[in-house]
Amino acid sequence: MATQPRTLTVNDLIDERPLSGFQLTTILLCGAVLLLDGFDTQALGFLVPPISEDLGIPLPAFGQVISAGLFGLMIGAMLAGPIADRWGRKWAIIVSSIIFGLFSLLTAFVSTLNGLILLRFLTGLGLGGAMPNVVALSSEYAPKRMQPTLVPAIFAGMGGGAVLASIVGGALIPAYGWRSVFVVGGVLPIALALILIKVLPESLRFLAAKGADRQRISGIVRKLAPEAADAPLAPPPASERLEGMALKHLFTEGRATGTLMLWIPFFMNLLILYFILSWLPSLLRQAGMPVSAGITAVAAFSFGGIVGTLIQGPLMKLMGVFPAMMTEFFGSLALILAASVMFANFQLLMVITFILGITVQGAQGGLNVLAAMYYPTSIRSTGVGWALGVGRIGSIVGPLIGGAMLGLQWTPQQIFQAGAVPATMAAAVVALSTVVMGRRSPYRPETAPAPSAAH
């Protein structure tokens, strides 16, 4: 007796087929959002010295400015995740891009410390809202077997944005001043948002999990798999359709321990990341080096970040998730200690900074994809958003600690040595998570089948 053909779900269409041009374009658009996110977030690190000199604001006061922006990032991530899990990823990304573009543009006209603090907070709301939804949307269009490779790779956009900011800053600041960098960083995301309105699709997995209109789903399926546009689709599994408040589901059905084990390394790694980006240019300036040295340092760290995020997926496949993450965290610890010893040797410090960009930002890309794979579709934006939000607490604490150390007249070497503490704690938690949680660890993402021969 002939067997009936299997009725596919939306998940089957995405996971069991080769990656299509439509999916790749969607993922690249998510990467473009992160490119401009990285431009704005990381440009401030090398803009602090010229702003300080132009407006007469002492360097330690910029701890408040940096932390205000990061506080906005935290609030934006925590609010935008549940909103997107209720109403969709596309418009959350678009609105967030417009918000951070608009307030970045307005920062070009600020003249007071309080104005800087307010505008950086408002810019942070948009930046924080964009990232978890970009992670969710890209992971939901990537076949599950390719998520460990594709999702970290889009974070090359963050490093690329910082490199772009360094190039733009190096070209514009001598001629037009620091304000010109904020003009560019404001106009570009607004222009991208207008393009996204037309070309960015809503998440197909999200629409299926929410029981959206079949015609709306078919329109996207037609671009993804034209032959299946009019075929019957089975509903997604019950595990993808969680009802009620998304936040509570981060702690139900055995996810509570995994959620907490993700939050701690998010906190520690983002503390390290923003500590370096926020204060390395100022520490170099304090050591008597020119503003250009800070721009070079941000570029070196960011180029390393591009390399780290691009190799993160292959590294996790080659070494395994646990050994890869452990290698990166312990590598960060060793490099931070080395930087504190080699601080006076600028050329060697830039080599260490480049490699540190690989380990710190590669580990962050790995944590992002692990969070995306750990949570089901209906709470994915919330899960990623809250992990990033908790991580942003670390990114707020880092600049504040750096500012306090500067105020206490700590040397650059002493300040860098203090950065070894969070790297040690992050590595310890990754190890503890794997030992305690076994197969339910967030550091053991599910595997997915390879493309079916029928496709």
Question: What pLDDT score was predicted for residue 188?
Answer: 95
Question: What pLDDT score was predicted for residue 433?
Answer: 67
Q: Residue 53 domain-assigned?
A: yes
Give yes or no for a contact between 160 and 420, defined as CB atoms under 8 angstroms apart.
no
Tally of domains within the chain: 1
Q: Residue 56 domain-assigned?
A: yes
Range with the poorest average pLDDT among 26-30, 55-59, 77-81: 55-59
| Highest-confidence segment of 59-73, 93-107, 300-314, 399-413 | 93-107
- pLDDT at 78 > cutoff 70: yes
Q: Can you give the residue range of the structural domain that contains 257?
A: 10-440
pLDDT confidence band for 220 (50 / 70 / 90): confident
> Which tokens belong to 8?
């596919």
Torsion angle of the four alpha carbons 386, 390, 391, 393, in this order, in degrees rounded to the nearest 10: 140
Query: How many Å apart are CA 383 and CA 90, to the nearest integer?
Result: 17
Residue where the block lists tokens 């993402």:
445
Q: Residue 445 domain-assigned?
A: no
Q: Residue 221 domain-assigned?
A: yes
Residue where the block lists tokens 């209109």:
213
pLDDT confidence band for 193 (50 / 70 / 90): very high
Q: Residue 452 domain-assigned?
A: no
Question: What pLDDT score was predicted for residue 449?
Answer: 44
Give the SS3 label for residue 192. helix
Q: Residue 403 domain-assigned?
A: yes
User: Within the chain, what is the greatest distance between any pair of CA atoms?
Assistant: 84
Q: What is the DSSP string of 116-174?
A: HHHHHHHHHHHHHHHHHHHHHHHHHHS-GGGHHHHHHHHTHHHHHHHHHHHHHHHHHHH
Instruction: List phi, psi (to 5°) of 16.
Output: -105, 0
Range with the poorest average pLDDT among 93-102, 114-123, 225-234, 258-267: 225-234
Question: What pLDDT score was predicted for residue 453?
Answer: 40
pLDDT confidence band for 6 (50 / 70 / 90): low
Query: How many Å apart are CA 150 and CA 146, to the nearest integer?
Result: 6
Residue where the block lists tokens 């040295």:
293
* 67-89 mean pLDDT: 88
Query: How many Å apart are CA 200 and CA 376, to the nearest integer?
Result: 22
Question: What pLDDT score was predicted for residue 435?
Answer: 60
Q: Residue 1 domain-assigned?
A: no
Q: Residue 358 domain-assigned?
A: yes
Mean pLDDT of the chain: 82
User: Which is nearest to 134 in space by CA: 196, 88, 89?
Assistant: 89
| Amino acid code (one letter) for 398 | G
* 6-17 mean pLDDT: 78
Give the SS3 label for residue 276. helix
In DSSP terms, which residues pair with 234 in a beta bridge? 9
pLDDT confidence band for 138 (50 / 70 / 90): very high
pLDDT in tens, 278-328: 677 777 777 777 767 777 887 888 888 889 988 988 888 888 777 888 888
> Which tokens belong to 196?
């996204």
| Amino acid code (one letter) for 314 | P
pLDDT confidence band for 147 (50 / 70 / 90): confident
Helices (H), 233-341: 256-286, 291-319, 321-341
- CATH code where residue 349 lies: 1.20.1250.20
- pLDDT at 97 > cutoff 80: yes
Exposure of 406 by Cβ count < 10 A (0-12 exposed, 13-18 middle, 19+ buried)?
Answer: buried
